[in-house]
């Protein structure tokens, strides 16, 4: 099971930290098309309907806070034109906020439809890659744009916990604790010589968010046996339906 770090409470919100395994690459990329930056291609570390986090693996990017960026998101042979403002810069990593536009919101929601997400998902637990998978993590399903499903089991094969992450939102169920939802407010690499991991800070919803539950239900319902066995899907659907 993943390490659970300290619980942080304030008068306004509750946040919790999680450390989860990280897949080493993504097929979701962003290519800038501004004249000064037309050669820049970024990996998209994570994305939501309101912004994204970009990483440039080779060379400097030249962007500064409050500057603007525009170009095309590329994924599985399709593309989506977008523009946004640089909200923060940390070395080769950028935080980008999208321009608020109803037409763009409709476009990105269609781009990241459940059907498109499912078509990109792979069972990492069955991968032939040499990955460091935590103990008791039985199933790890991943799609580009940081859409992931993690399922842990106890040693007696009873389900211990599951986490569903999608577009900077999450739903989590844990044995003896129940279900909760929230959003991701921090996501950073904490790689070591032996493993690649992400540290997440989740802001917990005061009451269960039905929209997040409904998206999770859609995601699981559309999965096939090659991603998650039927009995696992049935268990997740049962807990999400509570």
Looking at per-residue confidence, does 191 or 210 come out higher? Answer: 210
Mean pLDDT of 139-156: 90
Closest alpha carbon to 219 in 163, 136, 154, 153: 163
Reduced to 3 states (helix: H, G, I; strand: E, B; else coil), residue 39 is: coil
Cβ(226)–Cβ(38) under 8 Å? no
Tell me the mean pLDDT in the region 25-49.
81
At 192, is the pLDDT very low, low, confident or very high (cuts 50, 70, 90)? low
**Quick one: pLDDT band at residue 16, thresholds 50, 70, 90?**
very high
Lowest mean pLDDT among 20-24, 103-107, 137-141: 20-24
pLDDT at 65: 95
Specify the pLDDT at position 131.
Answer: 73
d(C-alpha 162, C-alpha 234), whole Å: 13
User: Which of 16, 19, 216 is closest to 134 using CA atoms?
Assistant: 19
Question: How far apart (Å, rounded) are the C-alpha atoms in residues 88 and 69?
Answer: 12
Rounded CA separation 17/13 (Å): 13
Can you give the pLDDT at residue 194?
47
3 state SS of 177: coil
pLDDT tens-digit profile of 69-122?
A: 999 999 888 899 999 999 999 888 899 999 888 899 999 999 988 888 898 899
Q: What is the mean pLDDT of residues 28-50?
A: 82
CB–CB of 17/32 below 8 Å?
no
Where do the domains of the chain lie, and which CATH numbers do they carry? 4-24+120-240 (no CATH), 29-117 (2.40.10.220)
| pLDDT the model gives residue 193 | 46
Average pLDDT over residues 216-236: 96
Most confident range, picked from 48-52, 102-106, 160-164? 160-164
């Amino acid at each position: 099971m993943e390490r659970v770090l300290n619980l942080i409470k304030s008068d306004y919100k509750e946040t919790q930290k999680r450390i989860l395994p990280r897949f080493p690459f993504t097929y979701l990329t962003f290519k800038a098309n501004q004249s000064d930056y037309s050669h820049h291609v970024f990996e998209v570390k994570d994305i939501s309907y309101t912004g994204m986090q970009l990483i440039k693996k080779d060379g400097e990017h030249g962007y500064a806070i409050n500057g603007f960026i525009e170009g095309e998101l590329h994924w599985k042979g399709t593309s989506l034109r977008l523009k946004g403002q640089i909200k923060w810069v940390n070395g080769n990593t950028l935080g980008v906020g999208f321009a608020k536009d109803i037409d763009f919101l409709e476009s990105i929601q269609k781009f990241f439809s459940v059907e498109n997400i499912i078509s990109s998902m792979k069972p990492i637990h069955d991968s032939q890659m040499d990955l460091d998978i935590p103990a008791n993590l039985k199933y790890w399903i991943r799609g580009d744009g940081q859409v992931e499903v993690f399922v842990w089991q106890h040693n007696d094969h009873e389900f211990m916990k599951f986490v569903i992450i999608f577009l900077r939102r999450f739903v989590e169920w844990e044995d003896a604790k129940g279900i909760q939802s929230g959003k991701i407010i921090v996501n950073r690499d904490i790689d070591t010589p032996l493993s690649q991991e992400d540290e997440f800070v989740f802001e917990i919803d005061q009451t269960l968010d039905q929209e997040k539950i409904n998206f999770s239900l859609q995601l699981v319902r559309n999965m096939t046996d090659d991603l998650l066995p039927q009995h696992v899907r049935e268990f997740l659907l049962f807990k999400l339906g509570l």
